[in-house]
Amino acid sequence: MPRILDGVAIAAAIKQEVAEEASALAARGIRPGLAAVLVGNVAASEIYVRNKVQTCADLGIFSELITPPATVTTEEMLDLVAALNSRDEIDGILIQLPLPAHVDTKALLDAIDPAKDVDGFHPVNAGRLQAGRSALVPCTPAGIIEILKRSNIPIAGQHAVVVGRSDIVGKPVAMLLLNQNATVTICHSKTRNLGEITRQADILVAAIGRPGFITAEMVKPGATIIDVGINRITNRADFDRFFLGDAKREATFTKRGSALVGDVHPKAFELAGAYTPVPGGVGPLTIAMLMANTVRAAKMRRGI
């Protein structure tokens, strides 16, 4: 039977470690601080940011929620970022994405002080990661590495195939795996003979944003599969394609009218040696690593 990599348990362990670090800093008169900026009223974003703020409170991290209206301009947002950069009690700045179309997202992310860039999106941190130097790393890729390490999955010398090349997941996780001495192949929507490449993977990371895209025919038996995708399906035909005969999922779908599926077809997991489920795999690590990055930023800014 494949081994299920429990992201919930791993995230809980990381949060406990972060709480202990925050407590140790508090004993020195330092309280890590996170500013979360949420523009407008997007229900999903509101829930996600609320979870981040609550987690800060649980772990002993100061947080401040800033909620500009959806009509805010790029210039007003740049002024806000500049103000947060100058506040010493703020160690991390998080701008919840996506932003309204009229706001220049790249300009804002570039304006954040790299030392406070707890999302790890700034070009300075991306460059430091590429160079194998100490950096604040994007939360989801950092969480993937934690899952592998804490589950005692070998990385060094393994062939890791990353499907997806986004700046948020694909590229940084490829660099992290390379820095851990894996041999890394990056695939994307223009890759030819994709299945031939994914079947070579000892570690297969699926981050392409397409429900059930990685099928059983694309998986090497015994591989470790890291499924980053979170796709909500509401169509009955799609549900049957992925979960026909799964009584537990059937009950959830009937009750809620939707179900979650990753970028990997559930049947593909049957071939794996180990895999992250959806939900309960990579997802919980994202907030845990945001908290870890905030504490790390607080220590780095003070030379600790």
**SS3 (DSSP) at 95:** strand
**Which phi and psi (to 5°) does residue 28 adopt?**
-100, 10
Which residue in 231, 238, 234, 242 sits closest to 267, CA to CA?
Answer: 242
At 116 the pLDDT is 98
**SS3 (DSSP) at 145:** helix
Residue spans of the domains in the chain: they are 28-117, 139-284
139-284, CATH topology level: Rossmann fold (3.40.50)
At 41 the pLDDT is 86
Q: Which two tokens stand for residue 23?
A: 């407590």
**SS3 (DSSP) at 229:** coil
Catalytic residues: 52, 96, 119
Q: Which two tokens stand for residue 71?
A: 């009509």
Please count the helices (runs of H) and the strands (runs of E) in the chain: 11, 11
Query: For residue range 251-279, what is the model confidence (pLDDT) as tens digits?
Result: 989 999 999 999 999 999 999 999 999 99
At 45 the pLDDT is 85
**Residues near 2 by beta carbon (within 8 Å), at least 6 away in sequence:** 269, 270, 271, 272, 273, 274, 275
The β-bridge relationship of strands 231-233 and 259-261 is antiparallel
- Cα distances from 196 to residues 157, 187, 193, 237, 280, in angstroms, run 20, 11, 6, 28, 29
Where is 125: in which H helix or E strand? helix 123-130
At 190 the pLDDT is 93
Q: Which two tokens stand for residue 169?
A: 């997941």
At 71 the pLDDT is 96
Instruction: Please report, in tens digits, the pLDDT of each residue of the chain (304 residues total).
Output: 999 999 999 999 999 999 999 999 999 999 999 999 999 988 888 888 999 999 999 999 999 999 999 999 999 999 999 999 999 999 999 999 999 999 999 999 999 999 999 999 999 999 999 999 999 999 999 999 999 999 999 999 999 999 999 999 999 999 999 999 999 999 998 999 999 999 999 999 999 999 999 999 999 999 999 999 999 999 999 999 999 989 989 998 999 999 999 999 999 999 999 999 999 999 999 999 999 999 999 999 999 9
At 127 the pLDDT is 96
At 44 the pLDDT is 81
Identify whether the C-beta of residue 74 lies closer than 8 Å to the C-beta of residue 108. yes
Residues in the chain, total: 304
Which residue in 207, 217, 215, 213 sits closest to 281, CA to CA?
Answer: 207
* Superfamily of chain region 28-117: Leucine Dehydrogenase, chain A, domain 1 (3.40.50.10860)
Report how far residue 126's alpha carbon sits from residue 134's, in angstroms, rounded to the nearest whole number. Answer: 11
Q: Comparing 28-117 with 139-284, is the CATH topology the same?
A: yes
DSSP letters spanning 178-223:
HHTT-EEEEE-TT-TTHHHHHTT-SEEEE-S--TT-B-GGGS-TT-
Which residue in 289, 303, 304 sits closest to 92, CA to CA?
Answer: 289
Residue 183 β-bridge partners: 159
At 206 the pLDDT is 98
Tell me the pTM: 0.95
Q: Taken in order 139, 259, 209, 192, is the CA torsion positive or negative? A: positive
